[in-house]
Structure 1
Amino acid sequence: MARHVDAERRQTPSPFWPHRLLDQGKGVSVLCWLLLLCLSNGSIEAQVAAGGIDGPVIELGDAIILPGEDHALVPVYITSDEDVLSWQMGLEYDELVLAFDGIEYTGTVSENLDPITITSPNFPPFFGLQVIYAGGLPLPAGSGVLAAYLKLSLIDGDLIPEGGSVATGVGGVSNEASPILITSIYGNNVIPVVIPGEIMLYNFPLYMIESRLGTALDTTLSLPIRVWTDAAATTFSMGLEYDEWILCEILIDGSDFDDATQGEWTLLEESTDSGIQLTLESTAGPLPSLSGAILGVLIIARPVSAPGSWNFQLTEGQSFIDQVPVENLIDASATWVNHFIRGDANLDAVIDISDAETIVAGCWQGIPFPCPDAADANDDGGLDISDVITVLQHLFSGSEPPPAPFPATGEDPTDDDLGCL
């Protein structure tokens, strides 16, 4: 059984001392931060407000460690109605299974904000952290802002049963060195609600379908099917369940499996009551161990009832590798959202004369619009000659571009009666 360590019981001296920050070349900004705290009325303890369900939140997302990998990156999302100068918390996790090695900012909102990270203790494994935005730019206010990734490493892969998986939690707690706290640029200190995350650790073998998100421009979505094995294998079989109204086909050509077998394979597709049974066999002989290789791609046609999300489930008891049951199955979803490009009336991802023609055909010839919201080029909530003029002026007169969403896909910021998918 997993053992959770209470980080509050660790009596570690606080690492937060000004000289440590000055050594990092951020002295002026950090001293300003300290001065801001000192000039605030009363002590920090007296100024702290408790966050509610609608107030500041630190949320730890979920993550996975795939077979053969040794670490997970747990996303940290922060919700605050004020720009954030610093945030901190202690960490609680099963130290028999994981070790917290540090924090990463690549791919997050914090990446270009020059944050300073202070960990507790000074060397791994860590049990607390503080992040200070001392470079002049705070973490912006917002809901679910991706602030960082926590890197947690797997200590002993033998703890994961062969062919199985283990779930373990990671949460935020207050301890002496790192109380849970968010400090805004105005010096307001708030104890946020902390939502814990979960890490799934997988052993070989594993099947996984990758989820995909599409917009109004996407008539199909491609969902790769990946496999992890630790021994040579010839036959890969899986049961797949999905909504009966979904049009789905499997494409093997061009996949990793196709390349590895040099095109020497067979595919058997059998319909079932809830989906399909796929059996893919290498006629070129056994393939060596595979680490995330793509067996094939599911091509999903956009349903007429879009937008929405449709699930694709791998069936337990019907998924095998060389007759050995596969219990590690990661399902997927294909999701379409009402995102479009303003003025792209025919949804070909380019604004040109054909979009003006599409608007004319829809307004005066009764041809249905593929996305009325996209045809509303001037975003006035109606479809008429003014939208044609907006497109033509943008193309040939150098006038202002259409309103958002433009030039990239996005949702309609205007509340009107027009829809898309």
Structure 2
Amino acid sequence: MLFWRILRLAIFGLRYYCLNLKKGMRKVSFVCFSINNWEKRKARKQQFMLHLSYRDDVDRVLYIEPALNIFRLLFFPVSELRGKENRKRWFRALSLKTKPISDKFIIITPLFFIPFAFRVHFIYNLNLFIILTLIRRKIKKIGLDGIVLWLYHPFDYPLLKWFKEKVFAVFDWAEEWADYFVEYSSGKKDRVRIFEERIVRDADLVFVVSEELLRLARENNPNSYQLLDGTDYELFQRESGYTPYDIRGIRKPILGYLGTIKERTDLELVKFIAKSLPTVSLVFIGDIHYRSIDLNCLGDCENIYFLGGKDYEELGNYAKFFDVCILPYKRVSSPPTKIFDYLATGKPVVSTDLPAMARYKGHILIATNKEEFLEMIKIALMENNAANQGLRRELAKENSWAKRADEIMNYLKKRLSDD
């Protein structure tokens, strides 16, 4: 196994050197099997690939969305075709067409042809092999070369062996997947952990989102590095003059939240704030994971507003109406994905005492209990300090998605040079 990996890297290095010596810059292509769809919410998975495609040393990016299940369309057509984005994905999948976002960024939406893929692992692998066969044809037609395979789902582990076209493999450990899939049985969660361990061990390079995952990754692969999320700094600086209709009539001051509302959101804390500050509005922008969270516990709080998920490009138009940005999370090891978006607004940020927040002390207010969170909000609402706003924006600018793309390429080049 080790011999073949070294041989593969050596062949890639030699070919790269020969083909690109005159250019003085290696070009690679990325084939990303993502766990998130492309449209609307553009977070870590989408932003990494998008900003890599902007680089001169990257040829093209092929972004492969999660597979659609053909049998769900046959038996549940109404739910599957509900919404413009779903219909667009189904059209791409059924027509076997690619969607170019730019001349360097291409989206593919594959199909699972055999049912029960997530119930029987053998069926998942069979579907995955069929998808890979179709992807290979697309790659050949597009003419990708020097391919970096980029994986997210632990169940895609077989691609490390099957995807012969790759010259390098990256696993981006963006979630603690066994905990992320709340609908999975304990047995299936154990299987996820097994495949996590295997994919971490066998990938050429591993990126993780938290310090805890970094510790676990380095137990199996020394080529593991923490790579934080980023922000589109300019997006939160634009003055469009546009006021979204659904926030227009909400009373200020506004405590604002950007991101998915799921099991790690501390609804008891949210309710406590709403009851303690009845003249303040709490506005949540993001999709709600109803399978993992029950909003009924909020009772009759009339100053809490859930406005739903928005396109990433719209977030700046909402955030400009926030007076304070809040992170009412239960204690989790993974850093919040929107922290740099918050800082980019320049607005005060109040967070619960999460392990990942320690590095931002001095830029955000951190509360250890609900009473302290309430006091921090009161302090933040009274802040009128241009210097503090500037410091928060500066930290956000240093953590843009473009900077993350720089880090990825630097780690990639270092790994290749080490071999």
TM over 0.5: no
The TM-score with structure 2 as length reference comes to: 0.25
Which has the larger strand fraction? 1
Greater helix percent: which structure? 2
Decide which structure has the larger Cα Rg and report it. Answer: 1
The alignment's TM-score, normalised by the length of structure 1, stands at: 0.25
